[in-house]
Chain A
Amino acid sequence: MSRLATLLLLAACALAAPNPARAQSLLFDYLGFDYESPNLLPGEFGEDGSGYVGLGTVPFLFAPLTGNTALNEYTFVLQGLTATGYMTVGNYRIISYTPGVITIYEDPKAGGTTGDFGSNPPNATAPGTFADGTAILVGTLTDFRFVVDTNNGTGSFEAVFNVTGGTQLANFPLNQRTGWTFSGSSGNALNIPEGYEHQIDGQTFLNAPSKTHRTTWGRLKAGFR
């Protein structure tokens, strides 16, 4: 019985084995600002224990996500990330974070609430007005890493992205829920609302479906004899 279970497990693994040369597709584009909460050392970015929050708008959604940007405002909130340590390289700081979550919300333009950054977040409108409506997509972010010039906030971040929830979860085949995200950051823009650290402009890509390999029970068993 135990051997049969092992074989079944191995078969499942074989079927789900990823193809190393997978194509990727743009899933959504996002634009906004970030801040730290909690911010243990104001004036410093990425100190151990500080929380990273990003929020803003999602102007473009791509398949398998569906949306209607004429009728709805799409917003995102990126949160749950805590700085766990950093390395200094010249003027740059390479910051590592615990896993976090990015959520995309759909909020009707008529009767909904327009996202309002306000100042010195968290505040009465942020992240609240970006986290209302229907959560159409929830994804985890792991291996989140921020590389930033501490002189001016110019930098970038990246993370592994996994679709885990939201009302459009069923749009994603079981073998196509993984991808990655990246964003540029800048502290040089004059339009950064008070209390925010950087403006951010990013994209999330979805890996192509994992390919499956046909085999026979005989071949599968033979591989483990």
Chain B
Amino acid sequence: MRRWMTTLAAIAMLALAAAPSRAVGPIVDWDPAYFYFPGATAADQPAGGILRCVGTVSQFGPPLDFLNASMPATEYTFYIDGLTSQGTNSFGPPATTIYTTFYTGGTIAIYADPTPDAAFDPNPPNANVPSTFQDEGQPLLTGNFTSLLVTTNNFTAFQVGNIEGDIQWTGGTLIGLLGPEGQPCPGLFTGGATWNTSPGVGIPGYLFRHDGKIDLQCPTPTKKSTWSRVKGLYK
């Protein structure tokens, strides 16, 4: 009985063993991205309001690392639309209050544009935002947000917080690369956010500057084995 349990434990350990060559970097990194939500503040994002975001991709990682975001001839951009605020909750004493705002819905699309023109013009929406981030042709990737949380506060000296959410990929020309056997792994949209309005950091009319990335949340690979091999390890 004891040997049987040992064998089962060994199988479980093998099944959970991480492959040595796990990708560590993000698939997409950006700098910068700006969120906008007219009428909202870091401490109050009214329920029902829509949060949107435009950004320029600065770097791609595996399995998209064949794309060169530094090449001036092609501009890689993304647009997030339709994140619906569930209202802002606050907690903590007056001097150290933390605000959390959950969002539902929302989509993301990543584009490659052979005619670079993205412009973070102030006070969006406007003539260039989001249009210069939504370029013609089929997007490289599209997805739906399955969650998104904005965390802010009233006490950080430089006005910093976090925006993080989960993405279910739904389409785009490169969706087949996002997981084994063409099944896309979910994406983790994550990074720091600041509502600092200093020139060079914030832009009038935008709510947050976001420094973030998307990671692929692929399950840890497993290794196939046989009963005899597993038993052989413990003989």
Binding site for B on A (CB under 8 A): 21-26, 29, 31, 59-60, 87, 89-90, 92, 94, 117, 143, 145, 147, 149, 154-158, 160, 180, 182-186, 188-191, 193-194, 199, 201-203, 205, 208
Contact = CB atoms under 8 A, between A and B. Distances in A.
A124 to B, nearest CB: 15
Contact of B194 (A59, A182, A199): A182
Contact of B91 (A23, A59, A90, A191): A90
B151 A149 contact: yes
Given A24-B199, A191-B22, A90 B92 contact: yes
A94 to B, nearest CB: 6
B211 A203 contact: yes
Contact of A59 (B59, B201, B219, B220): B59
B96 A94 contact: yes
B23 interface: yes
Q: Contact size class for B?
A: 35 or more
Contact of B200 (A23, A145, A157, A160): A23
Contacts of A92: 92, 98
A158 B156 CA distance: 8
Given A156-B156, A158-B157, A201-B212, 19 more contacts: A24-B201, A25-B200, A26-B200, A31-B25, A89-B92, A117-B24, A149-B151, A154-B149, A154-B190, A155-B162, A156-B160, A182-B192, A182-B194, A186-B188, A189-B190, A191-B23, A194-B18, A205-B201, A208-B200
B226 interface: no
Interface string B159-193: 01111100000000000000000000000101111
Given A158-B158, A201-B213, A23 B58 contact: no
A23 B198 contact: yes
Interface of B: 18, 22-26, 29, 31, 58-59, 91-93, 96-98, 149, 151, 153, 155-158, 160-164, 188, 190-194, 198-201, 211-213, 215-220
A152 B212 CA distance: 17
Contacts of A24: 198-201
Nearest to A145: B156
Nearest to A198: B190
A193 B20 CA distance: 11
A182 B162 CA distance: 10
A27 to B, nearest CB: 11
B156 A201 contact: no
Nearest to A192: B24
A184 B23 contact: no
19 contacts: A26-B200, A31-B25, A31-B29, A59-B29, A89-B98, A147-B156, A154-B162, A154-B190, A160-B157, A180-B158, A182-B192, A184-B162, A184-B163, A184-B212, A191-B215, A193-B24, A201-B29, A203-B192, A205-B201
Contact of A190 (B98, B151, B160, B220): B220
Interface centre among B93, B97, B163, B199, by most chain A C-beta atoms within 10 angstroms, is: B199
